[in-house]
Amino acid sequence: MKYTVVDSYEKLSRLASNLIASQITVKPSTLLGLATGSTPLGTYKRLAELCKNGDVDFSGVTTVNLDEYAGIDRSDINSYYYFMNTNLFDHVNIDKNNTYVPNGKAEDLEAECKAYDERIKNFGGIDLQLLGIGFDGHIGFNEPDSEFVAGTHVVTLDESTIKANARFFESENDVPKKAVTMGMLSIMQAKKILMVVNGEGKKEILEKALFGPITPKVPASILQLHPDVTVIYTPENA
């Protein structure tokens, strides 16, 4: 595991975007696993700049996002589908037909989860997965549990996750209680993992995940078993 601490959010975003851009340059048909949240925003902004300058080409890239709220419409400004389009896909030369976010409004969510895993498998797995970490140690929306769940599945969000994500909604009550998340298998089978983390408040859980016992109570701790993980942390807030 490569654990890099940098002194600014700007530097974190620069390093992370450079890593993603290099991956795409080395393999133009990359299957890129993406995350939402505040931390990757600077990375996405910089990827858009790199693309505008001709320094990265998204035309052959396919993306799969980690998660989506259940029951939320894709046109809803709080959907992760909307987030990805407005923060990245609208600003790079990607074919939007090749961007996948779980459909949290699918009539049959179980079938949606199965199809999501099949799609990733048929692509031959994720080449590079971008991750953040939740205050409770979640990756994607894999919340602390008594076991690691392998496949894409529906989860009930933890109180702490609902509280943390309330900043995007009018009130805490508006935060969906359930979500669809990629499970641990697709994440752990990604060839490379890049985790970005910012803020003093995340340091304790990050170090627990990286250096503490491997346990489903701290979902991100499973990354200790992955052969190619890069973590970039800055104490600076976004």
Q: Within the chain, what is the greatest distance between any pair of CA atoms?
A: 47
Is residue 35 a contact point for ligand F6R (CB under 6 A)?
Answer: yes
Residue tagged active-site, from 68, 112, 127, 138:
138
Q: Tell which one of 33, 37, 42, 183 touches ligand F6R (CB under 6 A).
A: 37
How many C-beta neighbours within 10 Å does residue 207 have? 12
Is residue 137 a contact point for ligand F6R (CB under 6 A)?
Answer: no
In whole angstroms, the minimum distance from the beta carbon of 3 to ligand F6R comes to 17
Region binding ligand F6R by CB under 6 A among candidate stretches 55-63, 71-79, 114-122, 133-141:
133-141
In whole angstroms, the minimum distance from the beta carbon of 236 to ligand F6R comes to 13
CA distance 55 to 3: 26
CA distance 218 to 139: 9
Which x/- pattern over 143-162 shows residues binding ligand F6R (rule: CB under 6 A)? --------------------
The two three-digit tokens of residue 98, written as one number: 């090749």
DSSP summary character for residue 139? B
Give the type of residue at 132.
Answer: G
- Just list the catalytic residues: 67, 136, 138, 143
